[in-house]
Amino acid sequence: MKLKVKDIDIASGGPLVAVMNHEDAAMLDLHVMDRIKIKKGHKIETVVVDIAQSKKIVPKGRIGVFEEVIGSLDLKNNDIVGIAIARKPLSIDYIKKKLDGQKLSKHEISQIVWDIVHNKLSAVELTYFVAACYTNVMSTEETILLTKAMVEHGDVLKLNKYPVVDKHSIGGIPGNRTSLVVVPIIAAAGYYIPKTSSRSITSPAGTADTMEVLANVAFPINKMKGIVLKTHGCIVWGGSLNLAPADDKIISVERPLEIDAESQLLASIMAKKYSVSSTHILIDVPVNKDSKVKNIVEALRLKKQFEKIGRKLKKHVKVLITDGRQPIGNGIGPALEARDVLWLLKRDPRRPIDLEKKCITMCANIFGMIGLKDGRKKALEILNSGKAYSKMIEIIKAQGGKETVAEDIRIGKHSFDVLSPKSGRVADIDNVSVSRIARIAGAPHDKGAGIYLYKHIGSKVKRGEKLFTIYSESRHEFEYAKDVAKSSRVFFVR
């Protein structure tokens, strides 16, 4: 069958999708979610079919194609293409096998990952894979195979250096911008630390969002390599790279379901670290009822799995189980967090001491992993001497930024102070409320929006004293955030 292309100017966000008129579909006995092959010249692509019941969207004799198909086949409006029935991807049978609770082989896992990377699975089919791994937890062997497959079906940063250090936080805690301090300390010590980071999806800021206040974060892999070889470190957005691309697609269907299959969590983190040639990896696991890891039992199980997989992959892995009861640092939101980091690196009295302590602990553990004694003393020496700050400025400049004074970072022009209703000590802080209010205020899409904390758990507070300040760039978002803050219990003072 020959059909004329209609560019319907819609993107699926991943899967390759085409829309056929119901009459044309009936001629080939096609139904919604069946697959067809579209051929243009020597190029062929297998796509998922949707069916239009009205000729208004796609008339008979035409085929509506999503943007991903346009790009893959280099199509133009009114091109003539050949259409043929296609079989479903092989990985569908393997996903069914996992749904039945059976173990998957190396070949089967590799095929599933290949189909994910090349957009051969629909969102529904990918969701079934995630659900299968959530219900029927992968064995350690399967998790290692999944990790390796994720790396193989993407780019790899080859530095040919040893050691190559990396760190990762499981997340779920507001603030916690340790990467922007740990990277310059480790790099200033002469070790390589190519840090890829994420943007926020559900938090007030990801590491990449905060670094973007100071420098560019989107680079191709060859440019990233040049930055690392020149400065020993980088802090770049992983989404601009083709490192373990299956991971981002899996995460995209996990988030709406609010599930995090343990095997996929392990494979996701280890694949990203493997793909930048890391040899020594520190994993931060914050524990709290509101974070990803709820209790110490879960944390210890995860620690055991990370270290076991690390040994199998011939990587040095160490897991730190940390306190996730409250935000780390004072600023929550890209600009406020960037300001905190610069104050810390400049040894300013306004620096967040809790963030500093955590970063020093992380660096001490990293130095210990690579055989250095007195790691804590060395990290402090690098900070106090100004070497860490100088290295951060070097990295910022290499990433297209310039040296910035913390006070010159633009913060939201609308502000509101939340005061303590009574005197006492801060007994608890609701992390979920902190994140929610900061996001309502505009973070992370408005870099200057967020929350600045004046108190932490254990702090003494007087009635009428400031607990935190809300900052916003938008009057509308500011008013809404203020109302939510007034009606929420964020700090618990006793």
Active site residues: 260
Which residue from 404, 399, 380, 488 is spatially nearest to 438, judged by alpha carbons? Answer: 488
Q: Angle CA(331)–CA(235)–CA(360) in degrees, nearest 5?
A: 60
How far is residue 441's CA from residue 204's CA, in Å, rounded to a whole number? 9
For residue 233, with 0-12 CB atoms within 10 Å meaning exposed, 13-18 middle and 19 or more buried, which class applies? buried
How far is residue 472's CA from residue 391's CA, in Å, rounded to a whole number? 31
Dihedral pair phi/psi, residue 169, rounded to 5°: -110, 135
Q: 295: which residues sit within 8 A by CB, 6+ positions away?
A: 287, 289
The helix/strand/coil state of 340 is: helix
How far is residue 113's CA from residue 134's CA, in Å, rounded to a whole number? 16
How far is residue 344's CA from residue 359's CA, in Å, rounded to a whole number? 10
Whether residue 467 contacts residue 410, with contact meaning beta carbons closer than 8 Å, is answered with: no
How far is residue 129's CA from residue 189's CA, in Å, rounded to a whole number? 43
Whether residue 214 contacts residue 393, with contact meaning beta carbons closer than 8 Å, is answered with: no
Q: At what angle are helices 475-487 and 431-440 packed, to 10 degrees?
A: 160
DSSP calls for 63-101: EEE-HHHHHHHT--TT-EEEEEEEPPPTHHHHHHHHHTT
Ramachandran category for residue 334: left, alpha or beta (phi over 0 → left; psi -120 to 50 → alpha): alpha
The helix/strand/coil state of 46 is: strand
How far is residue 215's CA from residue 277's CA, in Å, rounded to a whole number? 24
